[in-house]
Structure 1
Amino acid sequence: MFDVLVYLYENYWRPDACPDHAQLSRKLSAVGFESDEIQEALHWLDGLALRTGELSAQDPTLPPPLAQSAVGVRVFLKEEQELLGDESIGFISFLEAAGVLTPPLREMVIDRATAVGSGPLSLDDLKIIVLMVFWSLGEEPDALILDELFVAPEDRLIH
């Protein structure tokens, strides 16, 4: 499924640039993706679109539901800890501390990670989920965060 998501991220600027599911399925199949992998990715994307719609439908003049203060801490359920794993939870915390993930975006990432259903989720897979959350909103993280999401630590040049 994650290979399909990466392909969509690389080939479609925004979700609204994607064709409808039937046409997209044919295109992905023609590229070489397996049918079950395509269907799993499309189902996952439907859930992402639903969450994105919920986020954008919130009235900006009202506080978000279950708003978190700047000094609040997200406590992960045991099931979330098992699914995400320590490395992924640490990365989510890093993105929050860096100001990249707001609490609503963090919850979208966690929701989409739990929708995968098997754990512990690898850090690389979590990074794809983070990219897809930004993609669904039509946003692109800044260059330093993109570097963190794409470049393996051992391949970074230190000046």
Structure 2
Amino acid sequence: MYEILIYLFENYFDRGGCPDSATLTHKLTIAGFGEDEINQALNWLSDLTKGDNDHYPATLAQSKSLRWFMPSEMEAIDKEGLGFILFLEQAGILNPLQRELLIDRVLKMNGNNSSLEKIKLVVLLDLWIQNQLTDPNVLETLFIASNPRYRH
């Protein structure tokens, strides 16, 4: 699924959006992706575009509480990924509600990519869907400032 999401971002980012589901399924099949993987990615993407946060209270967005991670979350999201999530919150890119949705989305992704790669992809796709990738400072914050080699 991760590879499909990368493919979508690389091939449709400049166009401003993806084609309809049937066309996209056809294009992904031609690109060599399997039917199960395509369905899983499209379902995951559909959940992302819905912005479904019904199982979280809206007041969570303004919460100032500290987040403790469950052992299962810490197993799926390594220290680097957890640190990046904290960085995104401290930089004001995520509020607590967005953090919870991000964690849910990352946990639903499969594959053997690092949690940091998954987190960055989810944030990119989410910002892309919300048309918030027009600010170059956001991209710089996500990719340059988050890299320890570039921090001062």
TM (normalized to structure 2)? 0.76
Matching residue of 1:75 = 68
Read off the aligned partner of 1:44 and give its amino acid letter: W
Deviation at 1:100, TM superposition (A): 1.0
Q: Deviations over 1:62-82 (max 9, x none)?
A: x9233443x422222222111
The secondary structure found in structure 1 opposite 2:60 is coil
Deviation at 1:96, TM superposition (A): 0.7
| Residue 123 of structure 1 pairs with residue 116 of structure 2 | yes
Matching residue of 1:28 = 28
Unaligned runs of 5+ in 1: 56-62
The secondary structure found in structure 1 opposite 2:78 is helix
Deviation at 1:147, TM superposition (A): 3.4
| Residue 65 of structure 1 pairs with residue 59 of structure 2 | yes
Matching residue of 2:99 = 106
CA RMSD between the two structures: 3.4
Read off the aligned partner of 2:35 and give its amino acid letter: S
Deviation at 1:13, TM superposition (A): 4.2
- Return closer, same or farther for 1:130/1:67 CA change in 2, 3 Å cut-off: closer
The answer (yes or no) to whether the contact 1:87–1:123 under 8 Å persists in 2 is yes
Deviation at 1:86, TM superposition (A): 1.2
Matching residue of 1:58 = none
Taking the aligned partners of 2:61 and 2:88, their CA distance within structure 1 comes to 18
Q: Deviations over 1:95-154 (max 9, x none)?
A: 110111122221221110111257894311221111112123222174244235456949
Read off the aligned partner of 1:95 and give its amino acid letter: L
- Return closer, same or farther for 1:141/1:124 CA change in 2, 3 Å cut-off: farther
Unaligned runs of 5+ in 2: none
Matching residue of 1:135 = 128
| Residue 2 of structure 1 pairs with residue 22 of structure 2 | no
Identity rate, percent: 40
Where in structure 2 are the equivalents of 1:86-101 lying within 5 Å? 86-101=79-94
TM (normalized to structure 1)? 0.73
Give the paired residue count. 149
